Structure 1
Amino acid sequence: MSAAASIASERSRRASLRFFNLFRLVLAGLFVVAGRELGLGDEAPVVFRFVAFAYLAGALGLGFQEVAGYLGESRVTALQVVIDVAALSLMMWASGGYSSGIPVLIMVMLAGAGLVAEGRMVLFFAALATIAVLIENVWRLAVGGLPVDFLQVGIFCTGFFGIALVARLLASRAQANASLAAERGEALAKQQAVNERIIRDMQDGVIVASGNGFVLQSNPQAAVLLGMDGCGSGLLEGLRLADIDPAFDEVLYQHGIDDRLLRIGPGGRLLRCRVVCGEPGSAAAGDTLIYLTDFEDIQRNLQQVKLAALGRLTASMAHEIRNPLSAVSQAAELLREEKRGEMQARLARIINDNAQRIERMIRDVLALGRREQALPEALPLAQFVAEVIDARVFSDPVERDLYAVDIDPSLSFAIDRAHLHQILDNLLANARRYCSGRPSAVALNAVPLAGERIALHVRDDGPGLDEATRLHLFEPFFTTHAKGTGLGLYIARELAEANDATLELAMAGPGADFILSGRQKP
């Protein structure tokens, strides 16, 4: 048994003992004040009054806590019960025997002893009461010659043992339950302390909101992320989230999207908000749990990763650029020596292809090195997609049949025009590279989402991507194409996040399905 459980059990036992002593004191006082009026002590009034006063004195003297501290609680308890049995037995003798009803009081005393005594002492008390009652009736029969109903006396004596045992079993069960409750309470308190420490020290902000939008609980990091940490601890509790920022209405009541990127709170920091609703039937039903993650911090970490990647790229640039430059130089030398027009055209094409490859590599590296400021505007999505496709198929109109567009003309996308053009151009280039080449092999469609958001799908009917490729798809310098730099999808996602949008790959379905999600209005 743990220390807390032992203390709780001892506390419960002492409380029962105090009530038992109070009952004994009231009973002794009743015998002194109104014993004769209750018809007790008729056969020996002097003995009855003497025993009543002695019983009251014993109840008063042994009821003090100092006595229990000096003699020991178990000894004082045993002495009190022995005095109870002896005093009630003498009163029974002075009041005419078992017919006075005093054996019923002895049963009550034995029941109380079963609640406060320890071990087998309750059987000793029951045996002592049985012997006292039997001696009184035997003496009455032998000395006075009065008739005695030993069957009824035997029933009383059997009841002594039964009540004492039942009371002791109930007391043991109550102590066991109290100990178990104390142990579980101690474990729960420790677990709660650990949880509170974890929530207090975690880097994400945590807010528990009620169904009507008021803050029930929050950790200090939530106030820091919202820019409200300078006004003291516990600031958020009791506030209405919509008063902190009206954008919380979208977070609380529109659960179509689990994660949102929002500039929220007085601090205006870009945060990723994740909403978890309380499960029906649980204690948290109707409440909402909001996790706030500092996305600007994530962006700074990404910038560090990007700078480290640039360092690795710089080390390998000489080797990467040397190959196309060697091909260009060799083709230029051959072009000076070659007199045939057909060979000149071939060499000029080699020069042009490698020059474009160098230009593309330098452009991607420059785009990786800087993240331009986004200027989002509400672009008519259907019209903009059509313009991007027209630019791609300008030199080869036959390719127009590859693209199947199904976008409602009324839908718009809040994003920087140049950024959306670069994202779509990269997605369409990848889809064109891996699709089957049949008509409608590349499908583009837009789906409205909750909270005035929209999802643009770019799907091809190619072989799709295996799990290993999916894990590294958006990492810089990862590519499955021989002439690719591995920066296209990484930069596309960077540009999407700069516009509070997300670029993801759908988990299921044939081919590759890229999803660009963002707002419809800036």
Structure 2
Amino acid sequence: MQGWLTTTWEPNWRSFRYFVLYRLLLGGLCLLGLVFPGEWNVRLNLLPSVLLYTLVGAYFAAMVSGYFLARFWQQHFNFQLSFQVLADVLVISVLMFIAGGVSSGLGLVLLISLAAASLVGQGRLVLFYAALATLAALMSQSFGILYRGFDPGSIVQAGFLSAGYFATAILARLLGQRIMINEDLARRRGIALDNQIRINQRVVERMQDGVLIVAPDGQVVRYNPMAARLLGLPSVAGQLVDNAPTLAAGLAHWLAGGDDSVLFFGAGNSELGARFESTASSDGDVLIFVEDVGRIKEQAKQLKLAALGRLTASIAHEIRNPLSAISHASELLQEERRGEIFERLLRIIGDNTARLDRIVSDVLELGRQNQAQVEIIALREFLGNFAVELLANENLPASTIALDVPPGKMICFDRSHLHQVLWNLVGNALRHASRGPGSVRIVFAGEDVPGRVELHVIDDGPGVPEALRDQIFEPFFTTHTLGTGLGLFIARELCVANGGALVLRAGGGGGHFIVSGRSDTCQSAVANDALAAS
């Protein structure tokens, strides 16, 4: 019996207060029965008297004091419970003796008190309460047989009643133990569930992907802050079709049996991807994950370039030393005249040596995150000098490049960066153009946005094929046998570092690249743009 409470029992003051409240009502009914006597008083021989008024009044006072103690002084649980049960046993035993013993039926009232006490009490005390009630019932019946002429055979009824006391106490205690175990398990599971909900909510709020829960009718049930940020909305509450029509159309297509993902554009024209997943909820809600595809691509690209940069930096010295030796050896061999085939082979060696050196230089350039030293550049003068230098390097007449730049136009850019960007763009244009007069044009244009300017590099070549437009800015992508595939990528990165952009214009004949930059306050504007771009 003692093992019943060693691991699971703890004071249950709420249930104890209900028990005391029941006893308070019982004492009040007894007191009212004496104040307003009826037929039941005569049957039970409980006629009003000083003894009964004193007994019932003291019992009711004990119940009132016990109720307030249980409500406002939650200490010494076992003592308070034992006091209440003892009062019940004494008062009901006396009333049972006065009413004629066990035949009066008052002994059954103790069963309720014992059952309630056993539900909230400890194992050993439960047996003590049952033993106390049994002793009181037997003594009361025995005194009645000896001094008041009760039927001697009624002692058997008292024995059965006493056995009922023990059975009730034991069964109630077993039930109470099971209830307490289940209550404790439910409480601990409730705490664990609440903690898990809090953790899940914090995880969802901190996710870099947007999460939306959408009802079958298209109503957004719940979403995290990242979902609203990616979609460029202060709130996504309401109908999904009103906030993100493209996403709603993708969801409808998936519900009809289509693909479980869709690509679309969100805030700031960023490329987003959404995945749809069904849930096991009874409401049939749909879970939508929204991720920034552009950010993922950028991270993958940066990881690739970082790994390549570390590799190249470690072997650049080992590569350039043999290249220098090969280049020097080919120069020495060129001093000997051994025929046309010999010279052609030397040219092949020289061209490929230069290409390898250029590849190493371009890859090393990717790892150098030099901050742009921006300045105000007069475009007309800068482009004039640039065209002369490039045409001299390519052995082309001055009329090959046509400049359309009004005087006084400025751009805020790092001078060496702008030179490198244009060298790559115009060099590519000359490679694909006819190289006739005006085959490559550099045109100045202003944008609708105040403080920004554009330089258009246009050639009369075949242009970039539609299938390659999404790949030309990818690192190491090239269609030229001698190209490194890094020129356009580095050019775009340099533009971003200067607070500008490099894009390929769609439509029209020939290649058409646009370099954009600022023309107003140089220092603060570029710094802010570069920080935002990073």
Do both proteins adopt the same fold according to a TM-score greater than 0.5, normalized to the shorter chain? yes
Name which of 48, 55, 73 aligns with 1:51.
Answer: 55
Q: CA deviation at 1:337?
A: 2.0
1:267 match: secondary structure: helix
Aligned to 2:264: 262
Name which of 448, 453, 465 aligns with 1:418.
Answer: 465
CA distance in 2, matches of 1:196, 1:9: 34
Query: Is 1:247 paired with 2:259?
Result: no
8 Å contact 1:92–1:100 — kept in the other structure? yes
8 Å contact 2:16–2:70 — kept in the other structure? no
Aligned to 1:63: 67
CA distance in 1, matches of 2:150, 2:299: 104
Query: Which structure has the bigger radius of gyration?
Result: 2
TM-score normalised by structure 2 residue count: 0.58
Q: CA deviation at 1:80?
A: 1.1
**What whole-Å deviation, never above 9, does each CA across 1:22-58 have from its counterpart, x for those lacking one?**
2112222222223643624643522444433332222
Aligned to 1:156: 161
Aligned to 2:202: 197
8 Å contact 2:209–2:290 — kept in the other structure? yes
Q: CA deviation at 1:366?
A: 7.0
Which residue type is aligned with residue 264 of structure 2?
L
**What whole-Å deviation, never above 9, does each CA across 1:163-215 have from its counterpart, x for those lacking one?**
01111222222222222222222233233333333332333333333333333
Query: Is 1:98 paired with 2:102?
Result: yes
Q: 1:113 to 1:224 in 2, by over 3 A?
A: same
Q: CA deviation at 1:250?
A: 4.7
8 Å contact 1:25–1:60 — kept in the other structure? yes
CA distance in 1, matches of 2:360, 2:260: 32
CA distance in 1, matches of 2:158, 2:107: 9
CA distance in 1, matches of 2:322, 2:276: 48
After superposition, residues 69-148 of structure 1 pair within 5 angstroms as 69=73, 72-147=76-151, 148=153
Aligned to 1:37: 38
CA distance in 2, matches of 1:245, 1:323: 62
Query: Is 1:179 paired with 2:184?
Result: yes
2:144 match: secondary structure: helix
CA distance in 2, matches of 1:320, 1:261: 48
Q: CA deviation at 1:313?
A: 5.1
2:271 match: secondary structure: strand
After superposition, residues 489-508 of structure 1 pair within 5 angstroms as none
CA distance in 1, matches of 2:241, 2:326: 58
Aligned to 1:4: none
Gaps of 5+ in 2: 1-7, 367-419, 423-462, 493-502, 505-534
**What whole-Å deviation, never above 9, does each CA across 1:459-486 have from its counterpart, x for those lacking one?**
xxxxxxxxxxxxxxx9979xxxxx9999
After superposition, residues 374-389 of structure 1 pair within 5 angstroms as none
Which residue type is aligned with residue 69 of structure 2?
Q
8 Å contact 1:324–1:355 — kept in the other structure? no
CA distance in 1, matches of 2:299, 2:173: 69
Gaps of 5+ in 1: 1-7, 339-343, 373-415, 426-473, 478-482, 500-522
8 Å contact 2:231–2:244 — kept in the other structure? no
8 Å contact 2:272–2:292 — kept in the other structure? yes
CA distance in 1, matches of 2:116, 2:323: 97
After superposition, residues 2-21 of structure 1 pair within 5 angstroms as 13-21=12-20
**What whole-Å deviation, never above 9, does each CA across 1:284-338 have from its counterpart, x for those lacking one?**
853213142362475267358648856975846745854775686477556x323
Question: Which one has more relative contact order, counting CA pairs under 8 Å at least 6 apart?
Answer: 1
CA distance in 1, matches of 2:179, 2:105: 30
Q: 1:40 to 1:135 in 2, by over 3 A?
A: farther
Query: How many correspondences in the alignment?
Result: 374
Q: CA deviation at 1:87?
A: 1.0
Q: 1:150 to 1:195 in 2, by over 3 A?
A: same
8 Å contact 1:226–1:267 — kept in the other structure? no
Choose 309-318 or 16-25, whichever is displaced more. Answer: 309-318
2:40 match: secondary structure: coil
8 Å contact 1:327–1:351 — kept in the other structure? no
After superposition, residues 222-237 of structure 1 pair within 5 angstroms as 222-228=227-233, 231=234, 235-236=235-236
Aligned to 2:528: none
**Which runs of structure 1 show a deviation greater than 6 angstroms over 4 or more consecutive aligned residues?**
8-11, 363-372, 422-425, 474-477, 483-488
CA distance in 2, matches of 1:328, 1:347: 10
8 Å contact 1:107–1:160 — kept in the other structure? yes
CA distance in 1, matches of 2:421, 2:193: 49
Name which of 340, 351, 355 aligns with 1:355.
Answer: 351
CA distance in 2, matches of 1:320, 1:92: 116
Q: 1:247 to 1:85 in 2, by over 3 A?
A: same
Q: 1:327 to 1:347 in 2, by over 3 A?
A: farther
CA distance in 2, matches of 1:99, 1:327: 128
Q: CA deviation at 1:141?
A: 1.4
TM-score normalised by structure 1 residue count: 0.59
8 Å contact 2:260–2:277 — kept in the other structure? no
CA distance in 2, matches of 1:209, 1:355: 61
